[in-house]
Amino acid sequence: MKDGPDISRIAALIGDPARSNMLLSLMDGRALTASELAEAGGITKQTASSHLGKLMDGGLLAREVQGRHHYYRLQDGDVAHAIEALLHVAERGPGKRTRTGPADPELRKARICYDHLAGELGVRLFDTMKRGGGLNERGGQFALTESGWGMLGKIGIAEADFGNSRRPMCRSCLDWSMRRHHLAGQAGAAILTQIMDLGWAQRRPGTRIIAFTKPGEASFERWLKTAKC
């Protein structure tokens, strides 16, 4: 047998129904306790502890300890990216409706994907920045152009705000519901944070929904129009 990436091991970790539900519950970027993850997986806390150990050993989860409490989160954006892509593939299975992704219209419109904006508005942002020249693509990799940085500057995001990080500044993430790409990476995370800091939208508690106010959505649309075409 030829050597290669151990895809089967990672696939087996994600493929268990309880573990996949636990991972999905972390897709909004939160850190949850073992008890909360056990509830998400529909299993006992003791069983959850075993699953969590396997997910950590596999590099899919990270643990943070605060006093007596242990919190678990996705290891990084790469894990979230992989899960979002798997959701897309799973929706193509036999017997699925033509309509893809979540049935909830609010979840389809705008939701958090780890730490960046997904759904219809997230895809519109990505498409607008590409069409307006704010994103430059080379070999499947994306980078902000001068006009892209100018567009971000209009909502208060400056290049100087970003420190050194191994995480890509820009990354395309295949959107589960739209089957097109939205913007991930440091820039995608900064944009979503700024959208909420400006009061345009807030995350609905206990869900992945990013709920825009009417004035906030209008401001978002005006901002998109600043992209150079």
| Alpha-carbon distance values, 40 to 56, 57, 196 (Å) | 17, 20, 26
Q: What is the helix, strand, coil percentage profile of the chain, to 5?
A: 45, 20, 35
Helices (H), strands (E): how many in the chain? 10, 11
- Among 74-78, 142-146, 225-229, where is mean pLDDT lowest? 225-229
CATH number of the structural domain 7-75: 1.10.10.10
Domain boundaries defined on the chain: 7-75, 78-224
Q: Among the residues of 27-76, which ranges form H helices?
A: 34-41, 45-57
Which one-letter amino acid corresponds to residue 68?
R
Q: What is the pLDDT of residues 87-112, one digit of tens each?
A: 877 766 655 544 445 668 898 999 99
With tokens 């300890």, the residue in question is 65
Q: Which residues contact 98 (CB under 8 A, 6 or more apart)?
A: none
Read off the pLDDT of each residue in 128-143 and give the average, rounded to a whole number.
92
- The per-residue pLDDT of the chain, averaged, comes to 89
| Alpha-carbon distance values, 104 to 77, 90, 117 (Å) | 24, 18, 16
Q: Say what the pLDDT of residue 191 is.
A: 98
CA distance 138 to 151: 20
Read off the pLDDT of each residue in 214-219 and give the average, rounded to a whole number.
97
Q: Say what the pLDDT of residue 197 is.
A: 97
CA distance 108 to 210: 10
* Percentage above 70 pLDDT, the chain: 92
Q: What is the pLDDT of residues 55-78, one digit of tens each?
A: 999 999 999 888 888 899 999 888
- Among 47-51, 116-120, 176-180, where is mean pLDDT lowest? 176-180
